[in-house]
Amino acid sequence: MPRPARHRGHGGVGGRHGCLREGTPGGLNVRGCTLRRLVLIAALFAAASAQGGNQKEEALADSVRVALSRAITDARPPKPQFTRIEDRIRYLKWLGEMSERLKRRLPDREGRLELLQAVWYEATRAGLDPAMVLGLIQVESGFRKYAVSVVGAHGYMQVMPFWTRVIGDGDRKKLFNMQTNLRYGCSILRMYLDMEAGNIFLALGRYNGSRGQPEYPNAVLAAWKNWEYKTDTSGT
């Protein structure tokens, strides 16, 4: 009897790994699916998902909630303003270098520059290092605008939808807007840094919903190095 032809596309997990009972959609053939295959399947699903953790909905003091809400709704145009020409030159050099580093991940130049400008603006506005924010985005979403994690975190900075209810207007779809997502993410990370008295390790863990555990903070700290920029102190 000839063997049935293998399905060559991605298809479903069963079609690719032979773990679904033929003619029984969704039925697992446990005997034909080794533990090794099951582990591989789980790994494939994990790799395909965004890395956003389960941020905790914590009780916030009214003053903190109001401050966050004001930060989110700030209507000032997201354009960098410089009083000194030297600062503008340094910014443009940073923008050019970061664009080159990001080219492999985001080939579209216009979209790449738009993201970098927004990251610089929102990070600086929140008192954060843009390199740290880029490292966090790398770990959280892999620079995918529409990434959704297995726990429902949205967008570049993997913001949990409950934040739109706590400090926004309740519209979770806005988390797929680049500027809005970065505004939420940077404002929330700033709040966690303040809550942790500037301890970056604990603040990053809190952002991911894994406070005190080393895996996520260490991943972001490692990715941070990919986006560090040595400023030119001569101003030229």
* pLDDT surpasses 90 at 25: no
Domain total in the chain: 2
Q: Which element (helix H / strand E) includes 4? A: none
Residue 92: helix, strand or coil by DSSP? helix
Question: What tokens were used for 32?
Answer: 């034909």
Q: Which of residues 162 and 60 earns the better pLDDT score?
A: 162
Check whether residue 135 and residue 211 sit in a common domain.
Answer: yes
pTM of the model: 0.73
The CATH number of residue 146's host domain is 1.10.530.10
- Under a CB-based contact definition with an 8 Å cutoff, are residues 42 and 50 in contact? no
Residue 28: helix, strand or coil by DSSP? strand
Residue 196: count of CB within 10 angstroms of its CB = 16
Arithmetic mean of pLDDT, 205-211: 93
166 found inside a domain: yes
Q: What is the percent of the chain where pLDDT is above 90?
A: 61
pLDDT digits (tens, 9 = 90+) for 129-183: 999 999 999 999 999 999 999 999 999 999 999 999 999 999 999 999 999 999 9
How far is 186 from 167, CA to CA, in rounded Å? 14
Question: What tokens were used for 17?
Answer: 């790994």
2 found inside a domain: no
Collect all residues with Cβ–Cβ distance below 8 Å to 43 and sequence separation of at least 6. none
